[in-house]
Amino acid sequence: MASQREIRRRIGAVRNIRQITRAMQFVAASKLRRAQEATLAARPYSDTLEEVLADLASVLTEEEHPLLARRSGGRRCIVLLTTDRGLAGSLNTNAIRFALREIVEHGDDITVITVGRKGRDAMRRARVSLEASFNGFGDRPRFADVLPLARLITDDYLAGTYGRIDLVYSVFVTTLTQRPRLGQLLPIRPAPDTAGIPGRQFIFEPSPGVVLSQLLPRYVATRLYQAVLEGTASEQSARMVAMKNATENAEELIEDLTLTYNKVRQANITREMIEIATGARAL
């Protein structure tokens, strides 16, 4: 059994860890509210834009804009969004496993673009082909931060490098629930409820090409930005819950160590009393 000094050291170390995890829990909780508000505020705009373009994609063709082209060949690209930092429970692990499962099930002709160091390191360990990697966009991502990534994806698709581009990210559901999601980014798919829309019912001024040349790149950037916001809110909520659990576990461990310390202390006192009584009797 460990000595009293060793147990005291362990209690002190666990108390220090508890102090750190509690501070991280409060910091994540303060950041969560801001991230949650930004995510929920951006959802209506992103969803409406996606619906409008899905309706347009059902009646327009590649002639109006090449981002609407549906290619049968070409490589597939997966954009994987993770965090730069750990201590967020199983958030990154779930997203990475989700992407790796998709890669295993659909062949080797898939390349990955990662956002976040956790995803980049995991893909390198799994020996998955990386086309590019970006660091995370911090706790307060801006729309301008995702424009280089959106431009890279758009240019590669227009150049014919990829036949399909998917997005894997964590969706913020509740504070306790974050789910990985895979969504097709390019080409733009028609909405499932637009099968009955007659062609050429939309009027474009000055022309479909001019309107879509401005709208479709904006759509790609908006989808990426919404995914980044979802990931930021998921990260803060997952970290808050993970640090709360770590703090509670540390408190339980302190209680167990304190009980063990008292037992060892009582055993030492009892042994010393027996030794004193035995020595006095011998005299």
Q: How confident is the model at residue 283 (pLDDT cuts 50, 70, 90)?
A: low
Task: Provide the residue ranges of all domains of the chain, joining segments of one domain with +.
Answer: 22-241
Mean pLDDT throughout 230-249?
93
Residues 51 and 191: their CA atoms lie apart, in Å, by 7
Q: What is the mean pLDDT of residues 112-120?
A: 92
Specify the pLDDT at position 117: 92
Query: Residue 25 is encoded by which pair of tokens?
Result: 């829990």
Amino acid sitting at position 102: E
β partners of residue 75: 162
Report CA torsion sign: 268, 266, 264, 14: negative
Helix (H, G, I), strand (E, B) or coil at 187: coil
Question: How would residue 158 be classed by pLDDT, with cut points 50, 70 and 90?
Answer: confident
Query: Is residue 93 predicted with pLDDT exceeding 80?
Result: yes
Residue 158 and residue 139 in contact, taking contact as beta carbons nearer than 8 Å? no
> Looking at residue 202, what is its pLDDT?
64
Q: Is the pTM of this model over 0.95?
A: no
> Domain 22-241 is in which class?
alpha beta
Kindly write down the DSSP assignment for every residue of 51-83, as one continuous string.
Answer: HHHHHHHTT--TTT-GGG---SSSEEEEEEE--
How far apart (Å, rounded) are the C-alpha atoms in residues 53 and 59?
10
**What pLDDT was estimated at residue 205?**
75
Local confidence band at 278 (pLDDT 50, 70, 90 cut-offs): confident
124/104 Cα distance (integer angstroms): 15
Q: C-alpha angle 138/142/148, rounded to 5°?
A: 95
